[in-house]
Structure 1
Amino acid sequence: MKTFNVNIVTPDGPVLDTTVELLSARAQSGDLGIMAGHVPMVAPLQIGVVRLVTGGKQSELVAISGGFLEVRPDQVTILAQAAEKGENIDLSRAQEAQRRAEQRLQDNQDNVDFKRAELALKRAINRINASQGNL
């Protein structure tokens, strides 16, 4: 199967530079599957897990917190606000972030920014899913 290069970059620097057969990601318009030779495009990404496939098997999961995906026939670049390889995620820290976000959402205080708490909860769940291999 043909391969293509994938780069995932954040403001803090590169997170991943590899060659894969298939990439799947969640765009604002829905799930995308990208293979070598895909039509060029740019798409905004949601908070989600980027799944990379090499040799017919899932090779890597990367938790991203939104951003943009640019597709060229032999190259995919993801510019993410934050990205972390599933294998590098501190699961206990992500679970604690989930607990804190859920607590904020349950509090009925006027000073709680619910949108911000919802996004924190989505990011925490996303990191947990990437670390455990859940999609």
Structure 2
Amino acid sequence: MSTIKVSIVSSSEEIYSGEGTMVFATGSLGEIGIAPGHTPLLTGLAPGPVRVQNGDDEKTFFCSGGFIEIQPDLVTFLSDRAERAESMDEAEAIKAQELAEKNMHDKESDLDYTKAAAQLAEAAARIKTIQKLRKNK
């Protein structure tokens, strides 16, 4: 079975380095599936889950956004924040989502609306990642 090398890097450290038979993520234009031998591509990475399959084994990660660089034998995810999905706290993600929603609706707040919308999108993506991980187990 053919594999592709996968590297997931946050701004502070490499989160994952390994092999995969198939990789799934959300690019800036929608869902993308990456197989060994994929055509070279550079695209944006939307906040959400990144799944790395290697045969029957599947690992799930969360990336806050960034870029995906794809080469025929290597895919690299560059993200400001990335973490293993199993280390994420659902209650904390829900709390962050509620706070972002509150900030967006607070007309008297000095918080930038664009920043609040980005925080809300990231919190929703975190919850989606946790739910996908739970569903795949």
Give the structure-1-normalised TM-score.
Answer: 0.90
Aligned-pair identity in percent equals 33
- Report if the CA contact (8 A) 1:28-1:43 is conserved: yes
- Report if the CA contact (8 A) 1:85-1:130 is conserved: no
Letter of the 1:109 counterpart: E
Point out where structure 1 has 5 or more consecutive residues left out of the alignment: none
More strand by share: 1
Equivalent residue number for residue 80 of structure 1: 79
- 2:47 is paired with a residue whose SS is strand
5 Å-filtered alignment, 1:16-95, equals: 16-56=16-56, 59-95=58-94
CA distance in 1, matches of 2:83, 2:128: 12
Shift of 1:110: 5.3
**Cα deviations by residue, 1:14-45 (Å, 9 ceiling, x for unpaired):** 01112111111111122211100111121111
Letter of the 2:129 counterpart: A
Shift of 1:56: 4.6
**Cα deviations by residue, 1:19-78 (Å, 9 ceiling, x for unpaired):** 111111111122211100111121111112112222156x12211111111111111111
Deviation above 2 Å: which 4+ runs of structure 1?
Answer: none
> RMSD in angstroms over aligned alpha carbons?
1.7
CA distance in 2, matches of 1:125, 1:18: 27
| Larger mean Cα displacement after TM superposition, 94-103 or 45-54 | 45-54
Equivalent residue number for residue 133 of structure 1: 132
Equivalent residue number for residue 117 of structure 2: 118
- 1:133 is paired with a residue whose SS is helix
Point out where structure 2 has 5 or more consecutive residues left out of the alignment: none
CA distance in 1, matches of 2:29, 2:124: 21
- Report if the CA contact (8 A) 1:67-1:79 is conserved: yes
Aligned residue pairs total 134
